[in-house]
Structure 1
Amino acid sequence: MKRTLLTFTFVICFLQGYSQSYIVKGIVQDTSGIPLTGTLIKLKWAGDSLATAADINGAFSFNNVKWPEFNFSAAFLGFETFMKTYKITEGNSLNIPAITLKTSSNTLNEVVITAVTSIKIGEDTVSFNAAAYPVRQGDAVDEVLRKLPGVKVDVDGNVTNQGEAITKIRINGKDFFGTDVATAIKNLPADIIKNLQFIDDYGDQARLTGIKTGEPEKILNLTIQEDKKKGYSVRMSGGLGNQDRYNTYLRGNTFKGDQQISFDGTINNTNMRGGGNGITNTNAVNTNYRNDWGKKFSADAAYGFNNRKNTTLTKTFTQNFLENFTRRENASTNNSSNNFSHEFSGNMEYKPDSLNFFKISPRITFNDNSSDNQGLYDIAQEDLITERTNLSGTDATSLNMSTNLFYNHRFHKKGRNISVRGNFNYSEGDNFRNVLNNYLIKQSGNDSTRIQNQLIDNVNDNFSTWGNISYMEPLWKKNYLEFSYSRSHSITNTTRETSDIVNTQPVLNSDLSNEYEYQFTTNRYGLSYRFIEQKFNYTLGLNAQPTLLEGRNLSRGIDTRNKTFNIIPSARLSYKFSKQQALQVNYWGRSNQPGFLQLQPITDNSNLQNTITGNPDLNPEFVHSFNARYNQSDWDKGHILYANLALNQTQDKIVTTKVLIPNTINQVTSYTNTDGFYTVRGDYSYGVPFAERKFTITYSGSGALNNNVAFIDQSKNIAKNFIVRQEIEFEVDIKDVIDAELETSYSINTTRYSQETFEDRKTNTIEIEFRGRNYFFKDLTLGYDLRKTINSGFDNSIIKNPTILRLYTEYRFMKGNVGALRLEAFDIFDQNSGISRDVFDNIIIDRQVNRLGRYFMLSFNLRLNKFGGGAVTRN
C-alpha cells in the first residue's frame, strides 16, 4: 500500500512538472562584452529539447520549457562551447546571468553550425547585422551594402534602399560627411561596423517625442563595434594607366571614444566620384569631425571641396508629338565645364537636463561654374527643315546659406511636450550666358539664314523663413492631442538683362529684359489625435492651409495676386505584427510654389526654335501623397521581404503648353495649371539565403503608372506612361573562395496617348550583370564585372546594345597583407556608352552620351588599421 501511494505521488509530481511551462532568458557575449548574434542555444531535458539563436542584441528566450532541470549549451563558431546544468527552484522563470564565450584556441577540429541573426525589423528601421554579411578583409562599407537585400550601390557610389535614395550617412547617430554618401561608404573599413540601420527619419522632433509628420528622409546609420571606438584606420592608393589615366586617394579615420576625425582626398581622371557621363577630372577633399564634450554638449562638422572638369558628347533624338504631325529633332552637342564647389555643414546639440534639448544646424554652399557648348540641331516639321548651329558660354555662381533651429521641452507630466522648429535660408545666383545661333531654314525649296547673338544675365536672390510650433497633451494612457501651427514665407527677386550684339556692340533689349519680385506665404493650422502603444499606433489629423502668391513686375508696374485654401486630412498608421513583421501607412499633403523662370512674364528667345515665356498667373501646386510599406523578416534564416506602394496626386499641376507658330521655325512654350496628374508606384524585394548563407536568391520588381498632362496647340493631351521591371539576383558567398552575384532584369516602358493621332510607344530593355571576386592562395584575387544591355523599340539608330567588361587581379603582400598591387582593365570591349529614354507628356527623348572607354591601370594600395590598443593590422 505504501509503495502504491509513493508511486502515485511520484506520477502526480511528474505530470505536474511536465505539464507546467517555464521561462528561461539570458544574453550571450564575448569577453569584451559584444553580443554574439546568432549563437546557437540548446536546452535538453528528459526526452525533449529546445533550440534557438541569439538575436541581434545577443539575447535569447524560451517560453515553453517543460522541465525545471535542464542541460544548457551555447555554441558559436570560433568560440569555446559553454555547457552547464540549471535548475529552477523558485517560481516558473529563470534569468540566466550573462554568458561569456571565450575564443577557441583550436577551431579547426570543431564545426559548429549557427543561425546568425541577420535582420531586425523596427517601426521605422531595418537593421542588418554586419557579421551576417562578411566581406573580404580590407573591404570598405560599400561592399557590405552590395550584399544586403533590397539595397543597390551604383558605379558612382549612390545608395538606394527599397528604391529610395539614401541622402545621409550617420555614425552612431551623428552626421558623417554631410550629404556625401559616396565618400562616406568608401571611407569606413567594413570590419569596424556592428550594424547597418536603414531609417525613415522624420527629424529630431520624431526622435525625441515620437511625433512623426510629413515625408521621411531615408538615411543610413552605422554603429561601430565597442572595441573599435578607439584607434585609427588609413587607406591610400596610387595608380597610373595608359591614355594618361591616374587615380590617387588618401582616406583616414581616427576614433577616440566619442571623438572622430575623418579625411578623404582624391585626384583622378577616371570618372570616380565625378559622375558617369562624359570624361571627368576630379580633385576633391572632404573632412569630418564630431565630438561629445561631456553629457550635455556635442557637435559635428563637415567640409567638402570639389573641382570637377567634364567633357560630355551627347546625341539626342527628340519626338515632339503635335496634333497633326510629329516634330523630330536630331541634336549633337559637345559641352565642356569646370565646376568649383565648397560645402560646410554641421550640428551642435545641447542638452542641459533631461527635459530640454537644443539643436542648431548651419549649412553653407558655394558653386562657381563655367562651361562652353557647341551644338548642331536639325528639326523637321511638315515641309519645314531647320538647321541650327549653336555656340554658347556660361559663367554661373551661386551661394546658399541656411540654418535649422530646434528646441524641445518635455514637461514633468508624461507625454506633455512642446517643440519649436525654424529655418532661415538665403540664396543668390548669377547666371551669365553668351549665345550665338546660326539658323539655316529650308522651306518649299527656298533657303534662308538668320544669325542671332545675345548676352543674357539672370540674377536672383531669395530669402525664406519657416517656423513650426507643436504642443502635445496626453488625454489618458496612450492617447494624445497635438496642436500645431507653421508658417513659411519667401521673397524672391529676379532680374533678367538681355542685350543683342549689333555691330559687335551690346544693345539692351528692353522687351526681353525684366525685373520681377514675388512672395509666397503659407500658414498651416493643425489638430491631430494620436494613439501610441508598443505594437500599434496611429495618427488622425486635420489641417487648414491658406496660401498667398504675390508677384510684381517692377519693370512694367504690373501686380498679380493668387490665393488658395486647402483642407488637408493627414493620417499615419504603424502596426508591428511581431518583432519580424511591420506595416506602415502614411498620408500627407504639401504645396509647391512655381519657379521664378515659370513666373517671369517675359520671353526667352535665345533659341528661336523654342521660345519660352513665363506665366505670372500660376497657382502653387498641391500634392496629395499616400504611401504604404510592409517589411517582414526571418531572423534565424535571414529571409527578408519588402513591399511598397505609393500614390501621388497633384492639384493645379504646373505643366507646359506648346504652340507651333504656322509656317515658322518657332515653337512657343509656356506654363499653366491643370488637374489630372497622378503617379502610382509599387515595388517589392524578397531575399532567400540558404546553405548557411553561402547562396542567396533575391526576387525584386517594380511597376509605375504616370498620368502626364500637356497642352499641345491649345489641345489637352494625356500621356499614360507605364513602366514595369522584374529582376532576379543570385549570389554566391563562400569564404576565401568566391564572392559573386548574377543579376538579370527585364523592363517594359509603354506610353499611350489620349489623342488618337498619336501612336502608342513601347520599349523593352534586358540587363544582365555578373560581378564578383575569386580568391586564390589567400593572397591573390581575381575580380570581374560583366554587364550586357539589350534595348529594343528605340526609334533612332544611335541606340546600341553595349557589353562592358572590367577585370582586375590583386596580390596582397607585406606583413599582415597591408599592401596590395592591383592590375585593372576597364571596358575591355570599348563599348561603354550611356543610353536612356525619358518620357514627358507629349515628348520622348532618346539620349546617348559618351563615357570613359577602355584603359588599363596598375596601382599600389596600402591599408593600416589599429583599434583597441592592438598591433597594426590589415582592415
Structure 2
Amino acid sequence: MRNFSLLAVLCLLTAALYAQSPAATTRFTLQGRAVDTASAPLPSATVMLLSAKDSAMINFTRANENGAFSFKNLKAGSYILKISFVEYIPYNQSIKSTGEPVMDLGLLKMKPITRELMEVVVRTAKAPLTIKGDTIEYNASSFKVPPGSTVEDLLRKLPGVQIDQDGNIRAQGQEVKKVTVDGKSFFGDDPKLATKNLQAEAITKVQVFNDKTEQAKMTGVDDGKKEKTVNLQLKDEFKKGGFGKVTAGAGPASNNVSTRFEGKGSYNKFDSKQQFSALLLGNNTNQQGISFNDYQDFRGSNSFNWNDNADFGFSGSNRFLYFGDDNESLTIPISGGNGRGFTKNAAGGLNYNYDTKKTKLSTSYYFNQTRLDLDALRENKSYLPGSTNLRKTDTSSQANLTTNHRVSFRLEKQLDSMQTLLIISNSRFGINSSNLQSQQRVFQSVANSSEIPTTYSQSTNNSSANQFAMANTLLYRLKFKKKGRNFGASATFQINKNDGDLLLKARNEFFQATSVNDMLRVLNQDQGTASISNQYKANLLYVEPFAKKFFWETFYNFNLRYDEVDRDVSNLDDSRRQIDSLSLYYKNNYLFNRLGSSVRYSYKGLNISVGVAGQQFQLDGKFARDQSQPLQPIKRTFTTVIPNFSLNYDLKNNRYLNASYDVGVQIPSSRDLQPVTSNSNPLAITRGNPNLLPQLGHNLSAYFSYFNPGSFINFWSNIYTTYFVNQIIYSQIVDPKTLITTTMPENLTGGKNLGSYIGFGFPLKKTKATLNLNTQLNFGHNLTRINEVLNETNNQNYSFGVRLELTPKEWITFYGNANIGITNTKYSINTAQNQTIYNNSVRGDLNLKLPGGFYLNTTMNYNEYKNEKLNFNQQIPLLSSSIYRIVGKAKKAEVRLSGFDLLNRNVVVSQYAGQNYTSTERIQSLARYFMLSFTYNMRGVQAKMRRDYY
C-alpha cells in the first residue's frame, strides 16, 4: 500500500508542478472582439492561437455573447490568430508580442461567404479544431503522432477525448457508442475495431457529436436520447486505393514455450459507395486482439446491430424480454481472454459494406480459434449459521480448444421516400472441447477453533460440444405524410442448438462422515445433453401525433419459444446404467404477450414520456427422467403491469438531464425451473425449482452532464437504485456429514442496491495537460438462505480515480492514472467474518521521440490486492517497454524490439465478496518475454488532393 500511495502522490504532484511551472520573464494578454462587417458581434466564435513556427495549436477558446475573447499569460513570441464562424471566411492574423502587458486587437471583422468568395482559396494554416454547436471537428494533421500509429493513438492526442488501457473511448465526458468511417459503420458496432485497426495517417478529420438514436431517426419523434459518436473522415488518397498494415514478430523461449511469435495484418479499401476490410492475426502471446470476446450465446443478442431495434416498446433500458441462460453448461466457465493462462490464438475476418442513398448492405465473416492452458488456485470461504465456516481450496489444470465461425448480413432498402425494409441475419457455429483436472479440499472450523479437514475430491472432466445459432429478422417501417405518424412491424426467427458430452471421473474422500453412499465416493459417468431452442417473435408499433407537442405510441409484442432438452446420464462402471436422479427430458413452450401505450411530450429540448404496459407469460412444460416415461406437466401463468417514465432535457449550452423509472421483468430460466440435479462438480450440487416466480426490478435513475467546448471542462454524474421483488437467488444446503453444498434457486423480496458515479475533467493547460477525477459509490443489500437461515449481506463499494494526460511537447507524451477500490462486506449470520477488500492500481504510459529517429514506449502497471481478514496481500508490478525506428526512404516500415513484464512478476489475481462467501483466485499467466518485430505500412494509390474551400 505504501508503494501504491507513493506512486499516486507522484502522479498528482507531477500535475501540480506542471500546472504551476514558472512563468517566462515576459508574459502578456491577447484580447479582441470577433464581429461581422457591420460590427455586430459573433457570439461563440471559435478562436485559436497557433504557433507561427509550425502551426501547432497553443490555446483555444470561444467568444462570449459580445464576441469578446482573451488569452492570458502568453509567452513573448510570434503567433497566428485564427477565428472561425459558421458561414464566414476564417479570420487569420499574425501576432508578435510588443512587450506591453495587454495587446488589444480591437474589432476583428469577418466576411460572410458569398458564392463568389467560395471560389477563393484561402492559403493559410488550417484550423486545428472547429466547434459547430455540439459538434467538434479536429484537423488530424494538427495533432502529431509517430509514424505507423493507429487511430487510437491519434484520439489520445485530441483535447476532450480519453482512451483507457482497454481501448474504450470517452469524449466530452461521455462514453462513445459508435465509430463510423466516412459516415458508415466499420466492421459492426464495436468502436475499438475501427480505432485499433485503422491507421492514423489515413484520417483527415475527426468529428465528435451527439447523434440521435435509430428509433428517433425512424419515427421522426425526438426521444431526447443522444449517443456520443465519432466519425473518421478518410483522406482522398485512402478513398481510392488500398491501405493497411502487416506485422510479424518472434522472440526467444519463455514459460516453457520454445518460441514466441505474433503476426497481424489488416487491409482496407474504400470509395464513395463501398468499403472492404480484412483482418488476420495469430500469436501465442495471449493477444486475442479483435473483439467478439467470449462469443456470447447467440440468442439474438447480436442480431440487431446498428441499433436496429425490432422489439418495439418503451425506450428504457428494460424494454427487452430476458429469458435467462437455459443451456446446460458442460465445461467450467473460464475463458482464455484478458491475459488469463497461456493461449494460442488465430483469428480472421472479412467485411464488406455497400452504401448508397437507397441501399445499404453490410456483411461480414469472422473466424476465431483459441487454445488455452490454464492452471489456477482458488480459495473460497463460506460462512454458515452458528459461527461455522467452510474453507474450500481448488487446484485445477485446464486445456481448452474453442473454434467459432460467425457470419452476419444486413440489408436496408428504401422502397420509396416513405417505406424502408430491413433484412438482418446473424449466425454462429462453434466447436468446443475441454479437459479439466481438479483437486478440491474442504476444511471446517467453528468460531475460532482450528480447521479440520473434512473432504477431498479429485476429478477429471472431458467435454466436447457443437453449437449452432442463427437469428433472422425482417423489419418494415412506414412513415406517413403527416409528420410524426409512423408504423412499424417486425418478425424474427431464432434457433440455438447445442449438443455436448461430458465424461466425469471423480474420487471423493470424507474424513468425518462414517456412512456415505458409495455412489458419492467414486463417480464414473457419461453425461450427454442435446438441446434445441426455437423462438418466433412478432412486433407492431404505431405512433400518432396529436396537438402540436404530443405523440401517442402504442406497441404489441408476441413471443413464442420452444425448448427441448434431452439429458442422459449413465454410470460407466455399471454397463452404462442410466442414473435417473441426474437424467432428464423436458419440453417447454413459453408464450409471451405484451400490449403497451405511452404519451410523449417533446418541445424545445424537453422530452417526457409516461406509459404503461400489461404483459403475460405462459409456461407449458413437460418433463420426465427419460423419453420413454410418462411426461409430468409444469404449467404457470404470470401477469404483470409495467409502468414506465422517462425525462430527457437538453438544457442547451451542452448540458443534459435525464431521469427514468421502469420495471425490469426476468422470467426464470428453463434450467432453474426443472427439478434436475447436476453434479459436474461433485462437492457442489445444483438443482432446479419448479415453483419460481418472475423477478421484478424497480429501477430509478437520474443523469446529468455538462461540457464546455471553449474551456474543455466536463462534468457528469448519475445516481441509480433498484429494489427487487421476488428476486431469484440461490440458497444453499450444506450436508452436515459430507459438507456437500446443494444450491437451489428461490424467490426472496427485499434485495436492493444504490449507486452513484461522478466524473470531473479539466485542462491544467490547454492542449498540454488534462486532469480527470472520478468517484464511484455502490451500496448493495443482498439476501440468501443458508441452511434455512436467512442471511443478509451488505456491501459498501467505494472507488476513487485520477487520470493525468501530459503532452507538453511533440516528442513526449505521458498518461497516468491511479484507482483505489474499497469493498466493506458485512454478514448477518456470521458477523465475525465482516471484512474489507482493497483493489488498487496505478498505471503510467510514457512515449518519447529520441535522437536518430528512434521512439521509446514504456508502460508501468502496478496492482495491489489486499484482505487482512484472509491474510491475503499481493502486489503485482508489470513493466513493459519497446524501442522502435521507422526505416526506408518511403518511411513505410518499422523495426521494434519489445520486452513484456520485464520484472517477471505477472500473475492474474482477483478477489470477491459474495452473499455469504469470499473468494480469491490466482492464475499463472504469460510472464517475461522479448520480441523483435517488423511492420510494413501499405499506403493507398495516390490521387490528386481536392482543394479545401473556406
TM-score (norm 1): 0.84
State the structure with bigger RCO (CA 8 A, min sep 6), 1 or 2.
2
Tell me whether 1:840 sits opposite 2:914 in the alignment: yes
The RMSD of aligned alpha carbons is 3.9
Which residue in the other structure is 1:222 paired with?
231
The 5 Å alignment of 1:570-585 reads 570-585=644-659
Larger % of strand: which? 1
| Comparing 173-182 and 661-670, the one that deviates more | 173-182
Determine the C-alpha separation between the residues in 2 that align with 1:673 and 1:552. 22
Which residue in the other structure is 2:301 paired with?
none
Q: Tell me the secondary structure at the aligned position of residue 801 of structure 1.
A: strand
Q: Tell me the secondary structure at the aligned position of residue 749 of structure 1.
A: strand
Which residue in the other structure is 2:888 paired with?
814
Which residue in the other structure is 1:474 paired with?
545
CA-to-partner distance for each residue in 1:702-739, whole Å, 9 max, x for gaps?
A: 11122222110112212121211111111111343111
Tell me whether 1:301 sits opposite 2:363 in the alignment: yes
Which residue in the other structure is 1:278 paired with?
341
Determine the C-alpha separation between the residues in 2 that align with 1:217 and 1:22. 31
CA-to-partner distance for each residue in 1:311-366, whole Å, 9 max, x for gaps?
A: 11111110111112111101111111011001111210001222111111110011
1:512 paired residue among 582, 588, 594:
582
Which residue in the other structure is 2:443 paired with?
380
1:718 paired residue among 781, 787, 792:
792
Checking the alignment, whether the CA contact within 8 Å between 1:38 and 1:76 is kept in structure 2 is no
Shift of 1:376: 1.1
Q: Tell me the secondary structure at the aligned position of residue 619 of structure 1.
A: coil
The 5 Å alignment of 1:588-737 reads 588-737=662-811
Tell me whether 1:539 sits opposite 2:648 in the alignment: no
Q: Tell me the secondary structure at the aligned position of residue 800 of structure 1.
A: strand
Determine the C-alpha separation between the residues in 1 that align with 2:132 and 2:821. 29
Amino acid at match of 1:545: Q
Checking the alignment, whether the CA contact within 8 Å between 1:549 and 1:620 is kept in structure 2 is no
Residues 330, 258 of structure 1: alpha-carbon distance in 2 compared, 3 angstrom cutoff? same
Tell me whether 1:366 sits opposite 2:425 in the alignment: no
Shift of 1:822: 0.3
Checking the alignment, whether the CA contact within 8 Å between 1:146 and 1:152 is kept in structure 2 is yes
Residues 317, 95 of structure 1: alpha-carbon distance in 2 compared, 3 angstrom cutoff? farther
Which residue in the other structure is 2:412 paired with?
349
Which residue in the other structure is 1:318 paired with?
380
Determine the C-alpha separation between the residues in 1 that align with 2:344 and 2:886. 29
Checking the alignment, whether the CA contact within 8 Å between 2:44 and 2:62 is kept in structure 1 is no
Which residue in the other structure is 1:528 paired with?
598
Checking the alignment, whether the CA contact within 8 Å between 1:145 and 1:153 is kept in structure 2 is no
Q: Which runs of 5+ in 2 are unaligned?
A: 1-35, 49-55, 72-81, 96-104, 254-258, 289-336, 446-451, 946-950
| Comparing 360-369 and 575-584, the one that deviates more | 575-584
Which residue in the other structure is 2:398 paired with?
335
CA-to-partner distance for each residue in 1:363-409, whole Å, 9 max, x for gaps?
A: 00111110111111111124551111111111012111002332111
Determine the C-alpha separation between the residues in 2 that align with 1:659 and 1:162. 50
Tell me whether 1:232 sits opposite 2:247 in the alignment: no
Determine the C-alpha separation between the residues in 1 that align with 2:672 and 2:859. 44
Q: Tell me the secondary structure at the aligned position of residue 352 of structure 2.
A: strand
Residues 403, 76 of structure 1: alpha-carbon distance in 2 compared, 3 angstrom cutoff? farther
| Comparing 689-698 and 791-800, the one that deviates more | 791-800
Amino acid at match of 1:420: A
Determine the C-alpha separation between the residues in 1 that align with 2:752 and 2:489. 34
Checking the alignment, whether the CA contact within 8 Å between 2:846 and 2:857 is kept in structure 1 is yes
Residues 258, 794 of structure 1: alpha-carbon distance in 2 compared, 3 angstrom cutoff? farther
Checking the alignment, whether the CA contact within 8 Å between 1:150 and 1:642 is kept in structure 2 is no
Residues 115, 812 of structure 1: alpha-carbon distance in 2 compared, 3 angstrom cutoff? closer
Which residue in the other structure is 1:406 paired with?
475
Determine the C-alpha separation between the residues in 2 that align with 1:862 and 1:786. 27
Determine the C-alpha separation between the residues in 2 that align with 1:360 and 1:57. 47
Checking the alignment, whether the CA contact within 8 Å between 2:673 and 2:691 is kept in structure 1 is yes
Which residue in the other structure is 1:195 paired with?
206
Determine the C-alpha separation between the residues in 2 that align with 1:18 and 1:59. 13
Q: Which runs of 5+ in 1 are unaligned?
A: 1-16, 30-35, 63-70
Checking the alignment, whether the CA contact within 8 Å between 1:234 and 1:864 is kept in structure 2 is yes
Equivalenced residues, count = 814
2:91 paired residue among 73, 76, 88:
73
Residues 117, 50 of structure 1: alpha-carbon distance in 2 compared, 3 angstrom cutoff? same
Shift of 1:831: 0.8
| Comparing 216-225 and 831-840, the one that deviates more | 216-225
Determine the C-alpha separation between the residues in 2 that align with 1:538 and 1:176. 33
The 5 Å alignment of 1:438-517 reads 438-443=507-512, 450-502=521-573, 505-517=575-587
Determine the C-alpha separation between the residues in 2 that align with 1:440 and 1:43. 79
Amino acid at match of 2:218: L
Checking the alignment, whether the CA contact within 8 Å between 2:459 and 2:505 is kept in structure 1 is yes
Shift of 1:475: 0.7
Tell me whether 1:260 sits opposite 2:275 in the alignment: yes
Determine the C-alpha separation between the residues in 2 that align with 1:289 and 1:121. 31
Shift of 1:528: 1.0
Checking the alignment, whether the CA contact within 8 Å between 2:668 and 2:694 is kept in structure 1 is yes
| Comparing 575-584 and 327-336, the one that deviates more | 575-584
CA-to-partner distance for each residue in 1:172-199, whole Å, 9 max, x for gaps?
A: 5544223565544321123444336587
Determine the C-alpha separation between the residues in 1 that align with 2:163 and 2:415. 41
Amino acid at match of 1:195: V
Amino acid at match of 1:520: Y
Shift of 1:301: 0.9
TM-score (norm 2): 0.78
Shift of 1:838: 2.4
Percent pairwise identity: 22
Which residue in the other structure is 2:494 paired with?
425
Determine the C-alpha separation between the residues in 2 that align with 1:685 and 1:353. 45
Amino acid at match of 1:713: N
Residues 389, 49 of structure 1: alpha-carbon distance in 2 compared, 3 angstrom cutoff? closer
CA-to-partner distance for each residue in 1:823-852, whole Å, 9 max, x for gaps?
A: 000001111111112232112211111221
Amino acid at match of 1:356: Q
Determine the C-alpha separation between the residues in 1 that align with 2:260 and 2:804. 34
Determine the C-alpha separation between the residues in 2 that align with 1:846 and 1:776. 43
Determine the C-alpha separation between the residues in 2 that align with 1:781 and 1:27. 34
Checking the alignment, whether the CA contact within 8 Å between 2:615 and 2:641 is kept in structure 1 is yes
Shift of 1:587: 2.8
Shift of 1:595: 2.5
Checking the alignment, whether the CA contact within 8 Å between 2:149 and 2:200 is kept in structure 1 is yes
Q: Tell me the secondary structure at the aligned position of residue 205 of structure 1.
A: helix
Residues 127, 120 of structure 1: alpha-carbon distance in 2 compared, 3 angstrom cutoff? farther
Which residue in the other structure is 2:863 paired with?
789
Determine the C-alpha separation between the residues in 1 that align with 2:249 and 2:614. 60
Q: Tell me the secondary structure at the aligned position of residue 815 of structure 1.
A: coil
Residues 462, 258 of structure 1: alpha-carbon distance in 2 compared, 3 angstrom cutoff? same
Tell me whether 1:171 sits opposite 2:181 in the alignment: yes
Residues 27, 738 of structure 1: alpha-carbon distance in 2 compared, 3 angstrom cutoff? closer
Amino acid at match of 1:271: N
Q: Tell me the secondary structure at the aligned position of residue 755 of structure 1.
A: coil
1:50 paired residue among 39, 64, 68:
68
CA-to-partner distance for each residue in 1:497-532, whole Å, 9 max, x for gaps?
A: 1011216x4222122211112222222211111112
Which residue in the other structure is 2:216 paired with?
206
